[in-house]
Amino acid sequence: MTKEKSRTLLTQHGVSIRQAAIILGIIAVYFIITAFQPPEGLTPSGLKAIALMVCVVLTWATQVVPIIVSSVFFIFLIGAMGLAKPELILDPITGLLVSDPITETMVIKDFASHVIFFMFVSILLAYAMDRCGMNQRLALKMTALSKGSPKAMVLLFMAGTGIVSMIISNVPSCAAFLPIVLAVCKKNDCIKGKSNFAKASIIGIIFAAMVGGNATPAGSPINIMALDLLKRGTGLDISFAQWSLMGIPLVLLIIPVLWLILITVFPPEFKKLAGLEDSKEELAKLGKLNTQEWKFIAIVLVMLFFWFTNPYLHKISTTAVLAFAAAILFFPGVRLLDYDYVKQKLDWTVIIMTGASIAFAATMLSTGASQWIADMTLMRFANVHPVVLVFVIAIFTTLIHLLIPSCPALVGVLVPTVISFAAKAEMPAMMLFLPVAFNVSTYWLLPFDPLPMMCFPEKYFSIKDFFKAGLPAHIALILVSVGIVMFFGKPLGFF
C-alpha cells in the first residue's frame, strides 16, 4: 500500500496522521519508561503507575482522544494492569478475608468519590443562579458601582467572581461572569488581542475564580478532592469553618494584589466606560428582587448555615448539604431548575476527568510511587527551617504545573506525595498539605486548565499575556498563602 493510500484510509476513518502519531508516541512513552529497571526504592508496580500517569497527562493535554473517553479507558486500564490495591472480601467457603480478584472494584470505588458528586451539584447551583436572573442583576449593579472607571470595573469583576466562587465552584462562577465581561467589552468596542481592558478583565475573572475558590472547601472541587485524599492518607479532617478561617483572609488579601498586578501589566486604554447610563436604566427596570431570586438567596443562606455548623451541630458533609440544596432547586413550588434545561447545558467532561484523577491518585499512593517521588524531590529539604520548607512546597506546587498542567491530576499526585514526605520526615502533615491546597488549584503560567481554556477561545488574550500576568500573580500568592498558613496554622491546632 502506498503512503498516499494509507493517508487517505486513515483520513476516511476519521484519524489524521498527527493523531495517529500522538497515540503511538504516548504508547511508546509508556514502554520506554517501563523498559528500565525501577530505581532504588521504587517497585515495578510503582514504575508502571508513574508511566501510566505520564501517559494520562499527555493524553489529556493533547486531547488526541476526547477527555471523557480517555478518562474512562484509563480507569479500567488500572484494574486490567493489576495496579489497583485489591479490595478485601469474605470468602464464602473459608469465611476468611481474601483479596478480590476483580481489581476494577477498587478502582471504581476510588473513581466514584463524593468529589464528582460535589462538582455535579455545584454546577446545578450555578445554573440556578443564572436562570433566576441574579447574574444579570449583579452585572448591571457592578457596572453602576464602577461609575464609569475601567480600573474599578476590573476590580468589581474580580470581587464579584471571587465572592461567588467562595460558595459556588470556581468553574461555574467563571462561566457565570464571562458573558457579563464579554458584554461590557463589546459595548466598549474592545479589539480582540489588543484591548488591555479586555485582557485585564477576562484574566482577572480567571484569577479571581481560581483564588476565590480557596476561601471555602465548597469553592473548588480541587479542595474537596484534596481533603478527601488527606483523610484517606492520614485520617485527618478539616472542618468547613477551619478551612474558611484561613481561606477567606487569603482571598481578601490576594484579590486586591492581583488587581494591582493586572492593571499595571495591562493599563486600560480608555478612561471612561461606555454604556453606563444604559446599565443604570436596565437595573432600574429590573426593580426589586423577584420571587425566584429570593428563593435562590434563601437556599444559599440555609446551605451556608449547615456548612459552617459542621461538625459542631451536625455531621452532614459539605457535599451532602450541597446535594440537598441542589435537589430543592427542582422541587414543586421552587422550580429554579428543570431536567430539560440542565440536560441541554451540562458537560460531563470535567466531572469524569476529576474522578479519573482521584483513581490515579489512589493508585500512586498504593503502589508506593508517591512515596518514591517524595523521597526524590523533597527529602533533601527535610532538615530546613519549617518556614523555608513551606515556601519550598508552595513553589514546588506552582512549578510542577508545567509538567502536569491538569489540576485534578496534579492534586492527585501532590497530596499523597507530601503526606508520604511528612510521615517520613516526622513532620505535621497539615504543615505541608496546606501550602499545596492553597496553590494547587491556581495555574496561571499557561492557560491549559479547564477554567482558562473556557475563556481562551474568545481570543481577547494570548498565552504570552497570560504568562506575563500569571508569573507575578503566582509570586504574590505564594507569599500570601505561606503567611496565612504560618499565622493561622498553629492557633487552629493544625501543627
DSSP state of 87: P
Q: Which residue type sits at 441? A: S
Q: What is the pLDDT of residue 107?
A: 63
Lowest mean pLDDT among 8-12, 17-21, 363-367, 416-420: 8-12
Q: Please tell me the distance from the alpha carbon of residue 224 to that of residue 217, in angstroms, as a whole number.
A: 6
Apex CA 471: angle with CA 465 and CA 473, to 5°?
100
Confidence bin at 451 (pLDDT 50/70/90): confident
Could you read off the pLDDT of 236-246 as tens digits, one per residue? 888 999 999 99
Could you read off the pLDDT of 426-440 as tens digits, one per residue? 888 999 999 999 999
Q: What is the pLDDT of residue 90?
A: 46
Q: Where are the domains of the chain?
A: 3-109, 114-488
Whether 112 shows a pLDDT value over 60: the answer reads yes
* Cell numbers that stand for 380 in this block: 533533601
pTM listed for this prediction:
0.75
Q: Which residue type sits at 461? A: F
- Alpha helices, DSSP H, located in 64-133: 67-80, 104-111, 114-131
Q: Give the residue with greater pLDDT, 16 vs 247.
A: 247
Q: What is the mean pLDDT of residues 110-132?
A: 80
Q: Are 437 and 223 in contact (CB under 8 A)?
A: yes
Closest CA relative to residue 147, chosen from 156, 138, 134: 156
Q: Please tell me the distance from the alpha carbon of residue 168 to that of residue 220, in angstroms, as a whole number.
A: 8
Could you read off the pLDDT of 173-232 as tens digits, one per residue? 887 788 888 888 988 999 999 999 999 999 999 999 999 999 999 888 889 889 988 988
With b for 16 or more beta-carbon neighbours within 10 A and e for fewer, the 412-423 pattern comes to bbbbbbbbbbbe
Which residues, 6 or more positions from 165, have their beta carbon under 8 angstroms from its beta carbon?
A: 173, 174, 208, 209, 210, 212, 213, 215, 219, 220
Q: What is the mean pLDDT of residues 144-158?
A: 92
Which residues, 6 or more positions from 332, have their beta carbon under 8 angstroms from its beta carbon?
A: none
Determine the 3-state secondary structure of 98 from DSSP: strand
Q: What is the pLDDT of residue 33?
A: 93
Would you say how long the chain is, in residues? 495
Helices (H) and strands (E) in the chain, counts: 23, 2
**Cα separation of the two ends of the chain:** 67
Q: What is the mean pLDDT of residues 251-272?
A: 96
